[in-house]
Chains A and B, each alone.
Chain A
Amino acid sequence: MTISKDAFETQVLAILGPLHGVARRLTKNEADAEDLVAESVTRAWRARASLADAGAFRAWMFRILNNTFISERRKALARPREELLVEDGDEEEGAFSIFERLHQPFLLWFANPEQEFLDKLLREDLDRALAALPEHYRVVVVLADVEGLKYGDIAETLDVPVGTVRSRLARGRSALQRTLWNVARDHGVQASRAADTHG
């Protein structure tokens, strides 16, 4: 059964926060985020017959948002979809872990440099690190870690296999931690000894 207008409005408004949040992280711009949400809602209404299960509204709506973003970007940049989705290439510099940089196993229990690191991170540091991620990693990290979607829902949202979600998530989180590490260094948050040791 096709969703009614009232039910559609209720469902959209219920997830407008996450929807707008993802749009803002994709576009990195408040005005563009609003346009993206509006265009996605319009496309969703037109495509409402494709919503097979009302319980899957959230994943369905995120999928439309993501596809709308990709098609709008493609139009703007006159580039094919494949280039925007940059398949998992070899641009990574290897796995990066803040924990491995900071953890000192022989410290007394009350000394916890990795915890101090997290405590000193500001919300804007996390925002900056997310914004710095390549697009194909950013969307997966945002959906998994910020919006809390399951891997299966992310796979459905992005129309990729679950294995691709896992690998992009691993690489995206590694890149995020590398950026956070650099942000922290710039702000003097990193323990100087750890920074000296690892560069």
Chain B
Amino acid sequence: MSETDDVGCEQALRHLVEFIDHELSDSDHDSVERHLRTCRGCCSRMEFESRLKQRLSALSTEDVPSTTRDRVRNLIKRF
């Protein structure tokens, strides 16, 4: 993609995951974003994939068992 490209649905969907992951160049990100503003179908898809990613990232907030934390602390003390 280049900055001047008008991105169609096929191209936008191909880059959608990288768009959500913020892994596109600024110009490619802007191109996909422009398409999403005008295409309800692709925008819905983007919202769905983003929400699923958010659900997955929420799994990261799990607590560490105190036994694991104590074991690591004691381990490092002995280094």
Interface residues in chain A, defined as those with a beta carbon under 8 Å from any beta carbon in chain B: 5, 8-9, 12-13, 16-18, 20-21, 24, 30, 33-34, 37-38, 41-42, 45, 98-99, 103, 105, 114-115, 118, 121, 123, 126-127, 130, 141, 144-148, 150-151, 166, 169-170, 173, 177
Most buried by A among B17, B52, B73: B52
Contact A5:B76 (CB < 8 A) given known A16-B69, A144-B21 = yes
Do B72 and A30 touch (CB < 8 A)?
Answer: no
Q: Is the interface of B mostly helix, strand, loop or mixed?
A: helix
> B51, B57, B60, B72 — which one has the most chain A CB atoms within 10 A of its CB?
B72
With A41-B76, A42-B75, A114-B48 as contacts: A126 and B55 at CB distance below 8 Å: yes
Interface range for B: 20 to 34
Q: A41-B72, A144-B21 are in contact. Are A17 and B64 (CB under 8 A)?
A: yes
Within the complex, the shortest CB–CB distance from A167 to chain B, in Å, comes to: 12
- Report the minimum CB–CB distance from B63 to chain A (whole Å): 7
Residue numbers in A under 8 Å from B17 (CB-CB): 169-170, 173
Q: A37-B72, A151-B21 are in contact. List 12 more A-B contacts (CB 8 A).
A: A16-B72, A18-B60, A20-B62, A21-B60, A41-B72, A41-B75, A99-B45, A115-B51, A126-B56, A141-B56, A150-B23, A170-B17
Known: A121-B55, A150-B23, A173-B17. A38 touches B72 (CB 8 A): yes
- Residues 29-74 of B contacting A (Cβ, < 8 Å): 40-41, 44-45, 48-49, 51-53, 55-65, 67-69, 71-73
Closest Cβ–Cβ distance, residue A160 to chain B (whole Å):
16
CB distance from A68 to the nearest CB of B (A): 14
Contact with A along B13-29 (1 / 0, CB 8 A): 00001100101000000
Return 24 A-B CB contacts under 8 Å, by A number. Answer: A8-B79, A9-B76, A13-B69, A13-B72, A13-B73, A16-B64, A16-B68, A20-B68, A21-B60, A34-B68, A38-B71, A41-B75, A99-B45, A105-B41, A114-B48, A115-B48, A121-B55, A130-B56, A141-B56, A145-B57, A146-B60, A147-B57, A148-B57, A148-B60
B49 to chain A minimum Cβ distance, whole angstroms, is 7
Query: Does the CB pair A17–B63 fall under 8 Å?
Result: yes
Looking at the assembled complex, report how far the CB atom of B74 sits from the nearest CB atom of chain A, in whole angstroms. Answer: 10
- Least CB distance, B77 to chain A, in whole angstroms: 8
Give Cα A177–Cα B48 distance, bound, in whole angstroms.
Answer: 12
